[in-house]
Amino acid sequence: MEKNIKIDGLELTYDETGPDDGAPVILMHGWGCNYTTVASIAKALNSKLKVYSLDLPGHGKSQEPPEPWGIEKFTRLIERFAEEMNIKNPILIGHSFGGRISILMASRNKINKVVLVDSAGIKPHHSLKYYLKVYSFKSAKKILPLILGKKKGGKIIDAWRGKAGSADYRQSSPMMRAVMSVCVNEDLKKYMPAIKAPTLLIWGENDTATPLSDAKTMEKLIPDAGLVSFPECGHYSFLDNPGQFRAVIQSFLLKD
């Protein structure tokens, strides 16, 4: 059932399914998505578990952050959500961007189990071409308004940014573009050794957004972690191979 809650002045939408006496799950989608994107994950679990699937701030029907948030502020909001809902010792499931929040939250709270699905959290290594493009853009951002004027220079910069950025970046609002710029540059490796909960990593072997090498790094850094990877699956492994994904996650969460 879709519901709304206001936390620290921010309107959040979430979906609540499953039995009231089931162990609580906080399910978090990836960037540019909403709770309906991960509905198949909730459906695989809500016969026995109480699943809270959120529209993260700036996604779906939830309000945008008032300023460019980093992962700390997103995580603090989810911690406040758990407090308001009286959710204790939850299972955390995070896909992509939602995995970032899961990593930080699990590193400093009592968490039952963690499932990271094609998770972000490791700062990507870029090619020389990428850095040349970034530095060229930064130089143009400073110089063009001086040469052409603030208004005309700004339009050229916005057009360049939109053409050069990722699809997620181009489709985001100005505020969420700023948020994405902050979050994508945060490296969460330092928090991973502090995760005490049993952690399952589920990955698509053809994931180009968060490559399988990221999963292998996480498996090494998180003390009680195991990795399951699916051949011929990409960044949305839970949609690319739903049957196998369902079997793996149910085995980890429902068969204790």
pLDDT value of position 172: 74
Q: Place 255 in a pLDDT band, splitting at 50, 70 and 90.
A: confident
End-to-end CA distance of the chain: 27
Q: Does domain 2-123+186-254 have CATH number 3.40.50.1820?
A: yes
Higher pLDDT, 177 or 196: 196
Boundaries of every domain in the chain? 2-123+186-254, 128-175
The Cα 28–Cα 98 span in angstroms is 5
Nearest to 92 by CA among 197, 18, 1, 184: 197
Percent above pLDDT 90 for the chain: 75
pLDDT, one tens digit per residue, over 148-162 is 566 655 555 555 544
For residues 58-86, give the mean pLDDT: 97
Q: Is the pLDDT at 140 greater than 80, yes or no?
A: no
Q: Is the pLDDT of residue 138 over 70?
A: no
Using the structure block, give the residue that is written with the tokens 């949305």: 236
Model pLDDT, residue 16? 98
154-180 burial, b at 16+ Cβ within 10 Å, e below that, comes to eeebeebeeeebeebbeebeebbbebb
The mean pLDDT value for 76-88 works out to: 98
Give the model's pLDDT for residue 23. Answer: 98
- Given this model, what pLDDT does residue 164 score? 47
What is the pairing mode between strands 199-204 and 225-230? parallel
pLDDT-derived band at 173, boundaries 50, 70, 90? confident
Contact 162, 154 (CB under 8 A): no
What is the rounded CA–CA span in Å between residue 246 and residue 40? 9
Alpha carbon distance 237, 207 (integer Å): 8
Contact of 210 with 119, CB cutoff 8 Å:
yes
Our CA angle for 142, 159, 129, nearest 5°, is 70
What was the pLDDT predicted at 144? 47
Element (H, E) at 139: helix 128-148
Instruction: Please provide the average confidence, as pLDDT, over all residues in the chain.
Output: 88
